[in-house]
Amino acid sequence: MKSEWQLTKWMRRHSTLAILVVPLVLIALGVSLFGGALLERIAIVLFINLALVVGLQVFMGNSGVMSFAHVGFMGIAAYASILFSMTPRMKAIALPNLYPVLAQVQLPFLPALLVGAAIATLVAAVVGFPLMRLSGAAPIATFALLAIIHRVLINWDEVTNGARTVFGIERFTTLWVSAAWGIFFVVLAYWFRETSLGLKLRASREDEHAAASIGINIVIVRWVALILSAFVTGVAGALWAHFITAFSPLSFYLTRTFLIVTMLIIGGTGSVSGAVVGTVGITVIFEGLRGIENAINLADLPFRGSGLTEVFLSAAMIVILILRPAGITGGQELRWPRKQVQPEVTPDPADHGA
């Protein structure tokens, strides 16, 4: 009986993974078998966004510290990965001012992806430690870091070709590649949440002084979470670069930052479930609104549909923050409902005597 109770408790505790992973697998399988090119593109974007939002949730959701710099890490990894995956011939055309030491280097997709993510992680590790010591000023500092990364990407002509679009990138990111990474990161984020480090991080989120009083090094736990989240975001950036195949530094600034933060806030920053729910919901709405915008712009109407998507997402965020500040999931993980156990009634010997 005790082992059965422990098994039931374990299954309920980890039922979140089943609730989150199974639908994601079914989405990928359904699009692969029955979807066309448009649905496949939307599904790939969905899984890449999922990796981005989950990466942000690993840090922001557990620490309670708002971060705007993650899209900057995404941009670093995107450019670093294409520098190592593009053929020397395409580098000579798309990046004419590239350093000679990088011009002849070419790696397969997976090593190039990991190198790009590692470089983004290294940048986060170097600049992140002093930022984590700022506590209340950290959100403003991360926004400043995003602005710095953006200006560096625009002006580093040898590596990024300036503000101009880089083209000629091979498309390696397929539906199942993006799905595999997205689902893996959901599992990783949930595992991290359940570790002792994740518990310490959430303790510092709830009360910094109480957490410090029991020996939690708040700077270190936040720094480690930032490093892990930067790696996840970096992989997502490399996947995005090898899916879109042509981009400029303008792709990694305020618009994408707003989109990713909106997904997490609407879903619920405090849980991995919130990251998944927010990503799926907003991606579907975003793609639908983009279709409406295109239809309005193509029609002979006296007004334009440009900006409809941003207006709707902004209004949705305001409504969610007013009605449900903790997001759709309330900051809680989705789990199977607890089974109500009826207490056993022990018969009273006196009743038999009566």
Give residue 354's pLDDT band: very low, low, confident or very high (50, 70, 90).
very low
* Span 237-259, average pLDDT: 94
pLDDT tens string 35-59: 899 999 999 999 999 999 999 999 9
Who has greater pLDDT, 220 or 353? 220
Residue corresponding to tokens 């079914």: 26
> How much is the CA Rg of the chain, to the nearest whole Å?
23
Neighbours of 216 (CB within 10 A): 18
Q: Is the pTM of this model over 0.95?
A: no
**Positive or negative CA dihedral for 258, 260, 265, 266?**
positive
CA atoms within a 13 Å half-sphere pointing along the CA-CB vector of 229: 31
Neighbours of 243 (CB within 10 A): 20
Give residue 316's pLDDT band: very low, low, confident or very high (50, 70, 90).
confident
pLDDT tens string 178-228: 999 999 999 999 999 999 999 999 999 998 889 999 999 999 999 999 999
Token pair recorded at residue 33: 């078998």
Distance from first CA to last CA of the chain, Å, rounded?
Answer: 33
* Span 234-244, average pLDDT: 97
User: Which residues are CB-contacts of 66 (< 8 A; sequence separation ≥ 6)?
Assistant: 60, 138, 139, 142
Q: What is the pLDDT of residue 3?
A: 57
Q: What is the pLDDT of residue 229?
A: 97
Give residue 287's pLDDT band: very low, low, confident or very high (50, 70, 90).
confident
Q: Are 253 and 70 in contact (CB under 8 A)?
A: no
pLDDT exceeding 90 applies to what percent of the chain?
67
Average pLDDT value over all residues in the chain: 88
Q: What is the pLDDT of residue 121?
A: 97
Residues 279, 344: Cα–Cα separation, whole Å:
45
Give residue 16's pLDDT band: very low, low, confident or very high (50, 70, 90).
confident
> For residue 124, which amino acid is it?
A
The CA-atom distances, in angstroms, between 95 and each of 120, 149, 158, 276, 322 are 20, 19, 7, 37, 47
Which residues are paired to 166 by β-bridges?
A: 247
Q: Are 170 and 31 in contact (CB under 8 A)?
A: no
Q: Which secondary-structure segment (H or E) carries 244?
A: helix 218-244
Residues 239, 205: Cα–Cα separation, whole Å:
31
Residues 118, 81: Cα–Cα separation, whole Å:
10
**Positive or negative CA dihedral for 215, 220, 226, 230?**
negative
pLDDT tens string 66-116: 999 999 999 999 999 999 999 999 999 999 999 999 999 999 999 999 999
Q: What is the pLDDT of residue 345?
A: 53
Token pair recorded at residue 167: 């083209």
**Positive or negative CA dihedral for 55, 59, 64, 70?**
negative
116: left (phi over 0), alpha (psi -120 to 50) or beta: alpha
